[in-house]
């Protein structure tokens, strides 16, 4: 994508959620997660690349003992629709007997989250919880559900705060919908 096209996409997009609303939601999620996990020594696993920004902001608000790891499993790459799950990096942490918190940018169809929950359980996790900044209002192809969510959004193509448009605008400070 050329720079001009990237700017056009941003300039024509609808701002759905601003920076201050995102910060407030992350504060709320951190309080909910802290209440549930502060005594459990959880392993927090960031789902890359989308979960990076949200997870980074969330982690600084979780002031209790935890470990951090990441997984890079994607169905999208730089495309706008998903395909087969592609494992690029698996978590290296020992998950045996641990509570795991999977952190992602968006809960869409549920296929990636379902596969990651299964992976953690196969590795011996005692409990697997999930958090996402966004949840799309749509029917799911699997029965996976979020334990912690920031916002619900309509079934539109969204980007910003970790979500991308063809590899760009993960760094946009709000949540935008392509017009």
* Catalytic residue ranges: 108
Closest CA to 57 of 26, 103, 29, 102: 26
User: Is the CB of residue 178 less than 8 Å from the CB of residue 24?
Assistant: no
* Cα distances (angstroms) measured from residue 106 to each of 7, 21, 113: 23, 16, 10
**Rounded CA separation 149/26 (Å):** 9
Question: What are the backbone dihedrals phi and psi of residue 135, each rounded to the nearest 5 degrees, phi first?
Answer: -130, 125
* Cα distances (angstroms) measured from residue 72 to each of 40, 97, 156: 25, 22, 24
**Rounded CA separation 162/49 (Å):** 7
């Amino acid at each position: 994508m050329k720079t001009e096209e990237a700017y056009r996409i941003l300039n024509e997009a609808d701002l759905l959620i601003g920076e201050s609303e995102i910060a407030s939601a992350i504060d709320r999620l951190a309080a909910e997660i802290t209440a549930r996990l502060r005594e459990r020594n959880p392993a927090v696993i960031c789902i890359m690349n989308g979960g990076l920004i949200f997870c980074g902001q969330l982690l600084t608000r979780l002031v209790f003992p935890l470990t951090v790891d990441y997984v890079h499993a994607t169905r999208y790459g730089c495309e706008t629709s998903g395909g087969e799950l592609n494992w690029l990096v698996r978590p290296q942490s020992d998950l045996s007997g641990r509570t795991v918190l999977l952190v992602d940018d968006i809960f869409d169809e549920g296929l990636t989250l379902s596969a990651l929950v299964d992976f953690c359980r196969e590795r011996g996790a005692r409990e697997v919880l999930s958090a996402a900044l966004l949840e799309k209002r749509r029917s799911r192809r699997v029965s996976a559900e979020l334990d912690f969510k920031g916002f619900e959004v309509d079934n539109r193509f969204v980007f910003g705060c970790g979500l991308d448009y063809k590899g760009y605008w993960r760094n946009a400070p709000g949540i935008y919908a392509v017009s």
